[in-house]
Chain A
Amino acid sequence: MIEVLYFAWVRERIGLARETVETSAATPAALVAELAAREPRYAAAFADTSALRVALDQTLASFDAPLAGVREVAFFPPMTGG
């Protein structure tokens, strides 16, 4: 079980801010593939992962980082702070 969080337009496209996901995905990329296969709204949100960023337990990571032991995964567009 892993907590998956979505922000900004990713959240809007999927229609959820967070959910608990049962997965054995080894990487965020594998998790994205699982989620995108669920429903068109997920496929739409994850159509281009080069336009997305991922954080594992609140630290920026790459899509091929290991998910083992991670409790919280977040997907979001590039940040626009400042």
Chain B
Amino acid sequence: MRVQVQTAPFDPATELAGFARGRHDIGATVSFTGLVRDDTGQLVALDIEHYPGMTEAAITAMVDEAVARWQLVDCRVIHRFGHLTPGEPIMMVATAARHRAEAFAAAEFLMDYLKSRAPFWKKEITDQGGDWVKAKDSDEDALTRW
């Protein structure tokens, strides 16, 4: 299990290369990568602020819960902060379990919780200035299924 909160860019393929490798008790791995999306063609950058200390603790608690609920054999979370440009990976979740249902469910759980329970705040930077991204009610509602 590994949690990384970092400013540095990462390459999902490189990060996944060694994930769950060499184990014989894993039947399924699932990975998700979130990218900086530009809906308007105006986005210059995404500035991501976080709460050092709480971020790592909150994500580690989510990972511990996911591991326990879905008996994950391995799990990785990478989440960046700082100045990101369109197309760059923001975050990655990878889960490894005996069966695909557990690997998928745990990955979705972690993505839902990262969205509204990990202390990150996104600001969209355009030529006109910066706008804090507003949390969506649907993101909060997504937690009720867990």
Interface residues of A (CB under 8 A from B): 5, 7-9, 11, 55, 58-60, 74, 76-82
Interface status of B68 (Cβ within 8 A of chain A): no
Chain B: interface size category: 20 to 34
Residues of A within 8 A of B54 (CB): 55, 58-59, 74
Interface status of B134 (Cβ within 8 A of chain A): yes
Query: Known contacts being A8-B132, A9-B132, is A80 close to B51, with CB within 8 Å?
Result: no
Residues of A within 8 A of B115 (CB): 79-82
Evaluate contact between A80 and B111: CB separation under 8 angstroms: no
Interface status of B1 (Cβ within 8 A of chain A): no
Evaluate contact between B132 and A78: CB separation under 8 angstroms: no
What 0/1 pattern do residues 49 to 71 of B give for CB contact below 8 A with A?
Answer: 10101100110000000000000
Contact with A80, one of B53, B58, B135 (Cβ below 8 angstroms): B135
Residues of A within 8 A of B90 (CB): 82
What 0/1 pattern do residues 85 to 118 of B give for CB contact below 8 A with A?
Answer: 0000011000000000000000000010011111
Interface status of B83 (Cβ within 8 A of chain A): no
Residues of A within 8 A of B123 (CB): 8
Interface status of B79 (Cβ within 8 A of chain A): yes
Considering the chains assembled together, what is the distance between the CA atoms of A55 and B58 in angstroms?
A: 11
Query: Known contacts being A7-B119, A8-B132, A76-B121, is A81 close to B91, with CB within 8 Å?
Result: yes
Residues of A within 8 A of B140 (CB): 78
A48 to chain B, nearest CB (A): 13
Evaluate contact between B133 and A80: CB separation under 8 angstroms: yes
B122 to chain A, nearest CB (A): 5
Q: 12 pairs across A/B with beta carbons < 8 Å?
A: A7-B49, A8-B132, A55-B54, A77-B135, A78-B140, A79-B115, A80-B122, A80-B132, A81-B114, A81-B119, A82-B34, A82-B120
